[in-house]
Structure 1
Amino acid sequence: MTSASEPVWLKIMEHGAAGEARTKAFLLDRFWVLERSVDIDGADFLIQLRSFSTRFTDAAPPRVGIVQAKYYQDQATTQYIPCRYVIDDKGEPLKGFFAVLHVGNEDQAGMYLLSSREIAETLDRSKDDPPRYIAGKKALDEKFRVLNRRQALDKIQHELAQRSSSESLRFLDRVNIPYRKVEKRDIDFAYTLPIPNSQEDIPRAFYDYRDKLRSLLYDMEEALVAIDNILKTTDPHVALQELEKLEQYRSSSHFSDGLTFTGYKCDLDWEYLKDGLKEHDRAISALDKVSKRAAFLDLSGRIKQELIAKVTEMDDEAKKGQSYFASLSFDHESLALKRIRLKLLDAGEPKPKKQFSAWQSVDDHFVDKKKRPATEVADDLWHELATEVLKFVCPTLDDEE
């Protein structure tokens, strides 16, 4: 039976099976994958972070993600996703829902990944009741295409990890002041992408700023708990005992009835972070204009991984006075990586003048006579190379600065 002679019902079944099989194989690389016997909330698959330390019977059970698989015969195909799968009653995206879209077959097969937020912000809604998101050409935009499976899985894992953390915190909140454990991973995935930034390392800066601000909560915690106990108790003696705990926070004589929770000023000058976010958003916008977001992120991620491996391998032989020199070759149209070369230049040896190259002095990576981690050297080299590639792909970025 030829493809053209197949009945419509058979094609639909084959396409659905193909989409689900490809999606399951993709997800199994990183997650535990569960399947439902019925399709509720658009869940072709339920995915769980791999962990032996959490159980579904725990007070804060592990969170699961919902993945819906769609198959497209070609780019002209249109699929639909019910809005209730994607957003809540207030129109807010439901964290943990993803759509994995497969297009074509064999050598022409392609995959696209959209989060609930990307679906809600990008796709149009149908006018029928109940409404559905129209997953057509807009859903198959280049920026959603999966060229690097590791980055795509990172995107899903990042959102599930955030969701698990925030849900668990509900059980730790105190009456007056919540417990807030700040971790470096607690940032939207878009700002973890391998996009160079001349202003700030956004994930690190965001963590540092919030961690310093969090110290105010520690200063306030004991006083606020005492105040809460005073408000809750019906025994005046207990209230007076709690009141004594507030004495250490009493302000100066100029304002004797006030409380002071910190003896130092907390830095609220986050200008570098603001500038870094602007630069990041400009880069994303410029890449989208030339339909190169996915291709650049794939190339940039591969550059970083290869440099980490190469620098780590050469780290023991690197000595003061030498310099790391990295050169990059890639396809200027598809941005596919060809090769990265890394070598050590001796002191006084001229640095080759080549396009898409970077160098770092070994001396700059010694602190107190000890070498800094090889990953930091690799990160500096990556930043130079990725910045040059970004400006090559998006030459208008220089004009915007």
Structure 2
Amino acid sequence: MPTNDRTLAAGSLERMQNGMLGEARTRAFLANRFWVLERSVDVHGADFLIQINSLATSVLDDRPPRFAIVQTKFAQGGSTRISIPSSYLKRDDGSLSREFFLIVCTGYGDDERMFLLDAEEIDDLFDTAVDGDKEVRYKPASTFLRSTNYEITGARNHALNRIERSLRDATYSTNRFWLTTLGYGAGNAPSLPDVYHYPVTGHEDLPDSFKDWKKAASRILDEMEEVASYLQDGIAATWPSELEKATDELESRTDFDGNLTFKSPPNMQDFYRAAEYQINLVSRLRSKGLEGAWLRLAEQGQRVTGNSLANVANDYRAGLHFTIEYEPASLKVTKFQASPEETFCATSAQISFIDPRNTPGHVEICVRADVAARVPQRPTYLSTLTRALSHAILPAVLDIDTLDDI
């Protein structure tokens, strides 16, 4: 094995070993006070889903236990970059989650050290960056190693108490909804059929809109369950103080007229129209025997665009100019290329431009590059291109004047 390969292999093994050490130390620490119910591993590290280890509560109770996520990292030295997804810190409404903690492990043998940070401390201390299409928070490990701030002391009770208090203070609805947005317990709701995922007209937001409505509905159900539990507590009360506690909880959810309020799921009228449009268009393509041909053309556009976007911020300040040549009857592509476009978009407010001189079999389209610069970068750009392609090519293929006639 060449020296460079042996060095890389040794480095990989060392990182794996350190990761296992960090996980083992964190699990042993948490087991003093909590049940470690699940661990998931991803590129960001190891997640531990924990619950207070009490036999007095069950997930089937009217007031079920709350859960927290603890992510563990191992720092080989001060230069190790500690990075976590921003979504772990905040809920959809922008408030910080009190049920997320980060544990940083370092050192070996008698030099072992552990550090504990909650979401508020991470939000104040860590810098922000974009990794692909996701926002992350990061800091070099030297931030912790050079002091005793955030360090878990030998007794460990203080650190364990911090986590336990956060779980006891968490409300059921916000706790469950936050975990669902991170992928815990979110896999049971059916998704849209494959036909709605096709890159047919650029409506790539259909599956996301469908999922977002279900998330909102699940949150409402959780809030209703929590209200129901307070009502049950009030009905079961034997002392005025018990009833007062239940009514105080209910009052936090009432408006000025004393009505219990729940925020309704998002309006879906645009979604219904887009979904019907998608089905009608796919049906038209199938009736012509061109469904697969159109998918291949759209996918080729995605590949060309992906390659062209490698240096979009520097090389394509105005936009990309696409030239597509194809056989009108079969949609077989004979040419699909992209090149820098420096004149369009300088004065235009449009995000895409279809050349009016296009003819069946030869299409030219310009797409503005600043669309690609948005986050998430590539899905936005691909959606714009696919929509422009469909408007430029499909009317003649489907024997209609415009796609609005679908």
TM-score normalized by the length of structure 2: 0.43
Q: TM-score, normalised by structure 1?
A: 0.43
